[in-house]
Amino acid sequence: MIAEFALLVFPLLMAFAASSDLLTMRISNKLVIAVAAGFLVLALASQMPWPDLGLHLASAAVVLVVAFTLFSFGWIGGGDAKFAAATTLWLGFGLTLPYLVYASLIGGLMTVALLIVRRWPLPLFMKRVLWIERLHDAKTGIPYGIALAAAGLLTYSDTTIFQYFTG
């Protein structure tokens, strides 16, 4: 029972992050902390060796520095930067590159699709739905947390924690 719950922590947090970004264009600090804390609790529960834990922390630190550099140029949001780093905690260096490639591909496709849809007028019945109206607004950014969460889910089954609790 504990193993099944442990396996659900990451997917549930990813789903919540994606839906939060879609509906509010925001990923809260509390959610980022929950992603990071969830990893730390399960890493300790799985008795992850300290050197491996250190490498997971280092990979998240690298992603945080790169992501905040992108944020400083206005290319991604601050919540996305923190969320990418917290998600990378779960992955470590071995899965960070596939995660970032997936996020880039999914995010790129999502961005192109959204930019195309934003060229069309929003149907009147959809104007009453605040999050759809916000998403359709060309002045609004792209909810990149959706791509980050999807990429996290695509790489999750290869993580050390997933392998531990299914092994």
pLDDT tens-digit readout, 116-126: 999 999 998 89
Residues 25/81, Cβ–Cβ less than 8 Å: no
Amino acid residing at 164: Y
Cα 30 from Cα 46, distance rounded (Å): 24
Cα 112 from Cα 115, distance rounded (Å): 5
Mean of all residue pLDDT scores within the chain: 95
The radius of gyration of the chain from alpha carbons, rounded to an integer in Å, stands at 17
Rounded to two decimals, the pTM is 0.95
Cα 35 from Cα 14, distance rounded (Å): 8
Confidence at 22, pLDDT banded by 50, 70, 90: very high
151 token code pair: 């990429």
Cα 146 from Cα 100, distance rounded (Å): 13
pLDDT of 5 reads 84
Residue in 94, 86, 64 with CA at minimum distance from that of residue 159: 94
pLDDT of 167 reads 78
Residues 57/89, Cβ–Cβ less than 8 Å: yes
105 token code pair: 């591909």
Mean pLDDT of 61-87: 96
50: pLDDT strictly greater than 70: yes
Mean pLDDT of 87-111: 97
Residue in 11, 16, 4 with CA at minimum distance from that of residue 145: 16
27 token code pair: 């990923």
Mean pLDDT of 80-104: 97
